[in-house]
Structure 1
Amino acid sequence: MSKTLDVVNPFSLEVIGSVQTSDWDQIDAMMEKAYRLFNNRDAWLPAYQRMDILKKTSRLMETRFDELAFQIANEGGKPLVDARVEVARAIDGVELCVREISQMTGREIPMDLTEAGAGRIAFTHREPIGVVIAASAFNHPLNLIVHQVGPAVATGCPVIIKPAPDTPLSCMSFVEMLYEAGLPKDWCQPVVCSNDVAEQMITDPRVAFLSFIGSARIGWMLRSKLAPGARCALEHGGAAPVIVSEDADIDKMIPLLTKGGYYHSGQVCVSVQRVFAPPTKAEEIAKKLAAAAAALKVGNATDPTTDCGPLIRPPEVDRVEEWVREAVDGGAKLMTGGKRLGETTYAPTVLLDPPADARVSSQEIFGPVICVYSSKTTAEAIQAANGLPFAFQASVFTKSLETALQTVSRLDANAVMVNDHTAFRVDWMPFAGRRQSGYNIGGIGYTMHDMTQDKMAVIRL
């Protein structure tokens, strides 16, 4: 039976909207529609129609730019200045889907390399993989939906999208714009449901592809339960490391680390978390980071002057508070912050030399906390950076090309930024976690490839 789910502003906890939830019977009907739609090949949308729908969608998003940005801030707690960037990226992402459709090409396969193949010609083309289930996260409530739904629409896959229950409004707005742009509703169906119903949906044999962004514990569990033949892409978190060399320009580095660590109050899977620096530099870096962090304004994300918004739920503030207290009790030096500012906010925090076994050092913080460590050598720093069971993006600060390239080669990360923070991303680059941080590759073009499969025709002459 459907129920109403209230959506709240995560700073004030005031109700700002509501959505209807779905039970299994309703979702089963949605999935059957999607499954039958895919299996009726005469109903597939040709490329020019998909391109036209996505072009119209991007134009609709442009006309509602300010409304979408405010909605992101209001339901997700991302400061307006960053919410506006997210909307711009989401519009670019939809347009990128359009461009990538023309790149969905096949190739000729040579047949006469042996006598057995002689007298034949062969070629491949890309086909949609089938029904896509996409489960999304709260921290980029519009752009993540674009990254999951846009490629499905572009490749011609029916998609059922489950937004995070904390931030469903941006998803609903995007889907409604797809409909307004001409997408038949059965091709994209949004759903909000309980976790047990979501698991039943994701593990259903009608699912061809799962796109999951969220908790590693849940993502890997779901992958283990997928129906035979179903493929997936998982995007989880990390504890992004930064290697600082002796010759790094600290004053140029601090603003970048501040942005990379406190953007969206650290609720980003590639946020700056662990900074490894020479002993002669570590305390200086921690002090300058602390000064920058202390200057950030914490408040309601809908206030244009806010730098850091709330954490998504009050229990997350409790968790961050507990982890920081544990680190300080274990010997970490608290440089700034280290306290909750209210029921929903936590002060931007800098810790110097927390214990290696503290949770702030060994798990993803997903909060406004940066840890600075004294490392005797670069090799020691890299060993510590690589020492966790997850790996995503990393960075190195140095003036030496040799040091930069050596560090890039030795860090276990999908991407290593040189003289930039770990949270840098553009939407066409490969974006992926290694080991426990993810499976398969994100980025619009890469996702579109995963949502299609090769079909080969072999013609005997």
Structure 2
Amino acid sequence: MSTLKVYAPYDQSLIKEIPLKSAAEMQEAIDRAHDLYEDRSQWLAKHERTKILEDIAFLMEERYDEIVFQSAQEGGKPLKDTKVEMDRAINGVKLAIENLGHQGGQEVPMGQTAASVNRMAYTMREPIGVVASVSAFNHPINLFVHQTIPAIAVGSPVIIKPASTTPLSCLMMQDIYDVAGLPAGWCTTMVCDREVAEQLVTSPKVNFFSFIGSAKVGWGLRARLAPGTRCALEHGGVAPVIVEPDTDIKSMITGLTKGSFYHAGQVCVSVQRVFVHESIMDEVVNEMDTLARSLKIGDPVSEETEVGPLIKPEEVDRVHEWVTEAKNAGAKVICGGEKISDTCYAPTILLNPPEDIRVSTDEVFGPVVCFYSYSNRDEAIARANSLDYAFQASVYTQHIDVALDTVKKLNATAVMVNDHTAFRVDWMPFGGRDKSGLGIGSIPHSMHDMTREKLMVIKSDVL
């Protein structure tokens, strides 16, 4: 039997070795989920699903500390931030319960033509069918919830493949679902290699595919989906920020620093490109430099740690390679720019790197933020919009017309005003456009996507 060794990213110690699912086991899971969906006698009534979701939320709260520690240990996100993730995940389950009562259809008016008299029509929403989810490592608790709970809530069986670096948190969540009374087959966690996971993509028995990960992999998988399979893809971005000269710098810096170095920059909407008006560039960079140097880097399971490790040592090497490339091309390293260890990289600020090198054009996914000066806001917006990625962006200004104009002109699915690009709550629309993804995620949006509409038309002479 093949196994997977799960290592702590901070010290590379072995946490646990677990079995990998085989191709036969994956096919069995797909067949079981498909059979559940095809047999309406096995569908869970709405009140049954609601009760299960309520019990899941209760059990998550009961096992709060255990799940948080496991996630921080295997994923490397500092304990204090993992607690925030856990709170969001619990709230996500409660959001599904709340939105379950809003899943419905509407009347379609009839009688406007002679051919449509004596009829009434209504739409209703039904579960879409088997949902397949492929998840990422950076938010293992909350992504598990986002990629399974909407399906469970609407009555679609779901199979999830967690990231190979963070499967233990997901298996713990699966255990909670089981204890909460979710019948076998309605949510199945499959820890497997990439080749086995590809069955989730190509199977004609899968009706909806949810992917969180790199653009290269996501678009490649989309091309292999069976005909008729819908999908949602969430990729990364190269998040831009516009900082105007009237910005309240003191109030901005704390949030901007958090948005840049939260989870060591391993966030799809992490602040990466900050365009600052030349008149305040020195002050902004100096303030950011001071705060970045004060961040405590270390073991993610320590309550004091603010920046943890990158997920793998090779990611540290990659980030350092990109930073070295920027430095050699003329960027000024304000702080950081060095490995702290084989697993941790110093929070790094780069000033005016060329805009045609990797730290400026591709998602760093590490603790690196780039600052660029500008004199004209429209020119800064054009530079911010110059890439094929478009996810979340932000603008800092005290002038409402400037804010509104910038929001209108930035190519992004969401623009934060006087807040960093990594802001998110789980009921708001969230997703990328262009290379950054396809579809909009959130608990309510995903519930809608994991259902489909059916129209009923009734003909009667009494109408």
Give me the TM-score of the superposition, normalised by structure 2. 0.98
Q: Which moved more, 1:206-215 or 1:63-72?
A: 63-72
Equivalents in 1 of 2:411, 2:113: separation in Å? 42
Equivalents in 2 of 1:452, 1:103: separation in Å? 13
Q: Check the 8 A contact 1:283/1:352 in 2, yes or no.
A: no
State the secondary structure of the residue aligned to 2:136. coil
Deviation digits for residues 297-340 of structure 1, max 9, x if unmatched? Answer: 11110111111000000110001000000001111011000000
The equivalences for 1:26-175 within 5 A come to: 26-175=25-174
State the secondary structure of the residue aligned to 1:113. coil
Equivalents in 1 of 2:165, 2:412: separation in Å? 30
Shift of 1:18: 2.7
Shift of 1:423: 0.3
Shift of 1:226: 0.4
* Counterpart in the other structure of 2:196: 197
Q: Check the 8 A contact 2:79/2:301 in 1, yes or no.
A: yes
* Counterpart in the other structure of 2:421: 422
Shift of 1:249: 1.0
Shift of 1:283: 2.6
Deviation digits for residues 416-446 of structure 1, max 9, x if unmatched? Answer: 0000000000000000101000001100000
Deviation digits for residues 93-128 of structure 1, max 9, x if unmatched? Answer: 011111111111111111112111111011011100
Equivalents in 2 of 1:249, 1:90: separation in Å? 33
* Counterpart in the other structure of 2:409: 410
State the secondary structure of the residue aligned to 1:186. coil
* Counterpart in the other structure of 1:439: 438
* Counterpart in the other structure of 1:9: 8
* Counterpart in the other structure of 1:347: 346
* Counterpart in the other structure of 1:380: 379
Equivalents in 2 of 1:184, 1:203: separation in Å? 26
Q: Check the 8 A contact 1:271/1:423 in 2, yes or no.
A: yes
Equivalents in 1 of 2:105, 2:17: separation in Å? 45
* Counterpart in the other structure of 1:262: 261
Structure 2 residue identity aligned to 1:108: E
The equivalences for 1:357-368 within 5 A come to: 357-368=356-367
Deviation digits for residues 262-296 of structure 1, max 9, x if unmatched? Answer: 00000000001000011122232122111111111
Q: Check the 8 A contact 2:26/2:199 in 1, yes or no.
A: no
State the secondary structure of the residue aligned to 2:159. strand
* Counterpart in the other structure of 2:213: 214
Shift of 1:397: 0.4
Shift of 1:181: 0.6
Shift of 1:200: 2.5
Structure 2: tracts of 5 or more residues without a match: none
* Counterpart in the other structure of 2:17: 18
Deviation digits for residues 348-398 of structure 1, max 9, x if unmatched? Answer: 000000000110000001000110001121011100111100110000000
Deviation digits for residues 45-95 of structure 1, max 9, x if unmatched? Answer: 010000000000000000111111111110100000001001111000011
* Counterpart in the other structure of 2:370: 371
Equivalents in 2 of 1:15, 1:234: separation in Å? 32
Equivalents in 1 of 2:133, 2:199: separation in Å? 13
Q: Check the 8 A contact 1:175/1:190 in 2, yes or no.
A: yes
The equivalences for 1:252-401 within 5 A come to: 252-401=251-400
Equivalents in 2 of 1:82, 1:60: separation in Å? 20
Q: Check the 8 A contact 1:286/1:351 in 2, yes or no.
A: no
Q: Check the 8 A contact 2:232/2:438 in 1, yes or no.
A: yes
State the secondary structure of the residue aligned to 2:204. coil
State the secondary structure of the residue aligned to 1:94. helix
Shift of 1:243: 0.3
Shift of 1:19: 2.3
How well do the aligned residues superpose, as a CA RMSD in angstroms? 0.8
Equivalents in 1 of 2:200, 2:325: separation in Å? 39
Between Structure 1 and Structure 2, how many residues are aligned?
A: 460
Q: Check the 8 A contact 1:19/1:168 in 2, yes or no.
A: no
Structure 2 residue identity aligned to 1:72: S
Structure 2 residue identity aligned to 1:87: M
State the secondary structure of the residue aligned to 1:370. strand
State the secondary structure of the residue aligned to 1:428. coil
Equivalents in 2 of 1:173, 1:115: separation in Å? 59
Q: Check the 8 A contact 1:339/1:347 in 2, yes or no.
A: yes
Give me the TM-score of the superposition, normalised by structure 1. 0.99
State the secondary structure of the residue aligned to 1:232. strand
Structure 1 residue identity aligned to 2:293: A
Whether 1:456 and 2:446 are equivalent positions in the alignment is: no
Equivalents in 1 of 2:298, 2:167: separation in Å? 22
Equivalents in 2 of 1:426, 1:277: separation in Å? 27
Structure 2 residue identity aligned to 1:240: A
